[in-house]
Structure 1
């Protein structure tokens, strides 16, 4: 089993390399994000151990570029960053597992073996609604081939609506799935972000994709072709 370790802490990387070789892994180690991206994109590995805080390119950027290039090797993020949002960002970008420092080497090996058994994930399915398309892997949105730039929150909102197209979803459901279950702010933030998304995916193209269901919530129509406002 070939494992790529992208870790700039030399002592930790050396310890991991020695331990994983003893467990039967073939180990390649690089100490910066640029080399990590090149190795992962140009060579075949069964699993990747990727730190977040790296010189050159951080782990988030390495992971994002790998998934954009359709490299689906399982990735375990190994980092001292243990916040909920750090983990959420990693999983949103396509990480398969997340382990914080300090960690148990036995647990690390078990998780790596589990990822190898599971194999590389399949590329997420492209979401479409008429001329609108959203690629969860590349985190890209297009209307009739024209790229549309969305913020991470706008992208999350549109992705949730597209995964539930032709279904009415409430503000509470959107807040729970796009923000988080502990969000305690006003629910009119949903209206604000729906407005932001409409101004980017509809108004420039003369389309009407997201329907407001008064008193209930919103519905994204699967056949939202250009038809005027």
Structure 2
């Protein structure tokens, strides 16, 4: 899933982002409530993990604004506010779940899986571009009805490119969203994975999908269905 994490505590946010990436999710992090709300309104996410006690715009304000803007992304609240009144308020305002800090990591992942299963039941978790189908539920990729076997990291990279289809994404953006790392000009990790992914996705096809845009980054080109 593509997850937006809104958490102002830097160390906790870094820990959670790393763990979510290792679990196979795409993660974007905001340490500020107002910025998190802006990101939620400008991109597509499957889930928001939301702290309540945030600088500026707090979690309750974010929930209110999400609904006002007709943004119905599932929200899982993660908060140190453990009193039942806060839990009830958060759920009544539209959150799908509430977990109290400090929390058990495996429990959080389990709750995310429950939400993911519910999403699979109510929508077709697929991205289709040209003759390529990415099944987000089973994590299978096919092109021209032939299955393509990808590593876990290749799948996350392809999903990120597909969610941004026909837009150029820079190496910096890929590093931040797929590896949760700051851009290292001396690293060729993106090039290596793009090369491997291109060999699997575009091999034998007269219509290559992954394009290198010199000086700018990469783009997955094609008509989305």
Following superposition, the deviation at residue 120 of structure 1 comes to: 9.5
Residue 12 of structure 1 corresponds to which residue in structure 2? Answer: 12
- Decide which structure has the larger Cα Rg and report it: 1
Counterparts of 1:71 and 1:121, CA distance in 2: 20
1:1-229 → structure 2 map (5 Å cutoff): 1-119=1-119
Counterparts of 2:6 and 2:94, CA distance in 1: 16
Unpaired runs of 5+ residues, structure 1, are: 123-229
Counterparts of 1:21 and 1:112, CA distance in 2: 13
CA RMSD of aligned residues (A): 1.7
- SS class of match (1:91): helix
Counterparts of 1:112 and 1:19, CA distance in 2: 12
Change (3 A) 1:4 1:121: farther
- SS class of match (2:108): helix
Counterparts of 1:107 and 1:26, CA distance in 2: 19
Q: Contact conserved, 1:4 with 1:45, CA < 8 A, in 2?
A: yes
Counterparts of 2:110 and 2:67, CA distance in 1: 24
Q: Contact conserved, 1:73 with 1:120, CA < 8 A, in 2?
A: no
User: Over residues 192-213 of structure 1, what are the superposed CA-to-partner deviations in whole Å (9 max), with x where a residue is unaligned?
Assistant: xxxxxxxxxxxxxxxxxxxxxx
Counterparts of 1:121 and 1:86, CA distance in 2: 29
Following superposition, the deviation at residue 121 of structure 1 comes to: 11
Unpaired runs of 5+ residues, structure 2, are: 123-225
Following superposition, the deviation at residue 116 of structure 1 comes to: 2.1
TM-score when normalising by structure 2: 0.52
User: Over residues 165-220 of structure 1, what are the superposed CA-to-partner deviations in whole Å (9 max), with x where a residue is unaligned?
Assistant: xxxxxxxxxxxxxxxxxxxxxxxxxxxxxxxxxxxxxxxxxxxxxxxxxxxxxxxx
The runs of at least 4 consecutive aligned structure 1 residues that moved more than 2 Å come to 119-122
Counterparts of 1:116 and 1:39, CA distance in 2: 21
Change (3 A) 1:58 1:93: same
Counterparts of 1:16 and 1:24, CA distance in 2: 13
Change (3 A) 1:25 1:39: same
Following superposition, the deviation at residue 16 of structure 1 comes to: 0.2
